[in-house]
Amino acid sequence: MFPAHISFRQAAAVARQAAGAARQARGEKDGGIRQMDFARYEQYRETGVHEVPGFAYNTYLCTIPQDFARVRPHWHDQMEIVYVKRGSGTVSTNFVRHPVHAGSIVPILPGEIHAIDGDDGTRMEYENIIFSLDILDSHEPDDWCRTNVLQPLREGTLRFARPVPEGTEFYERVRWALDGADAACAVRQPGYSLMVKSRLFMLMNALYAFRSADAPERAERAAERLRTVLREVNANYAAPPSVEGAARLAGYSKAHFMRVFKKDMGMTYSQYVTECRLTAASYYLEKTDDPVGAIAQSCGFDNFSYFNRRFRRRYGMTPTEFRARA
């Protein structure tokens, strides 16, 4: 135990040093919290699955509000498709809201900030399909598919209607591709990944064939400004930019930034920073045996009581209980 007069900051520093020494004794790297893949861990926390080694494609069923109340605004480098099976709600892409219902299909591009909400009083079930475009990429500079489809998807310049309009050839081709990939994954016979890839190539063909010539929407350009801030906070949540610094990163005045952030993210900037810190703390509680105080301190919490209160509020249990359950 630490002396009664020692501060939380001092105690956490001592505990962190002890944890680092223990890691070195085990031959492990003294990795800081920033080594976590934030986007991947957020995805794992929401879905409970990892990609199959060697094949970056996953599909799983989610239910709002049974599995989680909502999917908060976030982004990742993979492509994602939300395929609604039951109920109704909203899928937001770069803060543009798309009402959805059973049968709706919403492709989400790599890097797009997106969120998913169910309508009040309803149970929304949807299939979430996440895959890396790299599994379709030859990486040859003169490859037509890479140049005309994959790279524009990564850059957000290949555009199409969302949700995919039902009752159209576009919709039928997309649904055929997804249902075929689902069927292959359900059986998982040797070589099933070839069938999945063939259907994904047909999906890419449909997205290209029914592309729109529209220029990027103003909301999407604004989302890129906000994504710059989110990326910085995700990388440096223990010591993130101040509100003023975040506003400068986004190219806004402080007052305008605060209004835009609250409107688009559904929370204040300081609340978002706290959410990132709590996610990081949950990661290290699961993945290390570092002392709870050291984890709290390394994630930016200087007050242990406040950390405990906020952690319990988000996860419904104390950090110690969370670690025991992990």
Rounded to whole angstroms, the Cα distance separating 9 from 14 reads: 9
Residue ranges covered by each domain of the chain? 13-48+218-326, 49-209
Least confident of 52-61, 72-81, 95-104, 282-291: 52-61
> What's the pLDDT tens digit per position in 194-252?
999 999 999 999 999 999 876 555 556 777 888 889 889 988 989 999 999 999 998 99
100 falls in which pLDDT band (50, 70, 90)? Answer: very high
Rounded to whole angstroms, the Cα distance separating 281 from 292 reads: 9
Highest CATH level, class, for 13-48+218-326: mainly alpha
Return the CATH number of the domain spanning residue range 49-209: 2.60.120.10
Here the tokens at position 99 are 């009402």
> What's the pLDDT tens digit per position in 33-62?
445 555 555 554 444 444 455 678 888 899
Cβ proximity of 311 and 278 under 8 Å: yes
Residues comprising the chain, all counted: 326
Element of type H or E holding 44:
helix 38-47
Rounded to whole angstroms, the Cα distance separating 275 from 269 reads: 10
28 falls in which pLDDT band (50, 70, 90)? Answer: very low
> Average pLDDT, stretch 67-94?
90
Indicate the pTM of the whole model: 0.68
Q: Which residue has the tokens 């405990």?
A: 308
Least confident of 45-49, 58-62, 103-107, 265-269: 45-49
Return the higher-pLDDT residue of 43 and 179: 179
Q: Which residue has the tokens 């209160």?
A: 309
Angle, CA of 299, 305 and 306, to the nearest 5°: 60
86 falls in which pLDDT band (50, 70, 90)? Answer: very high
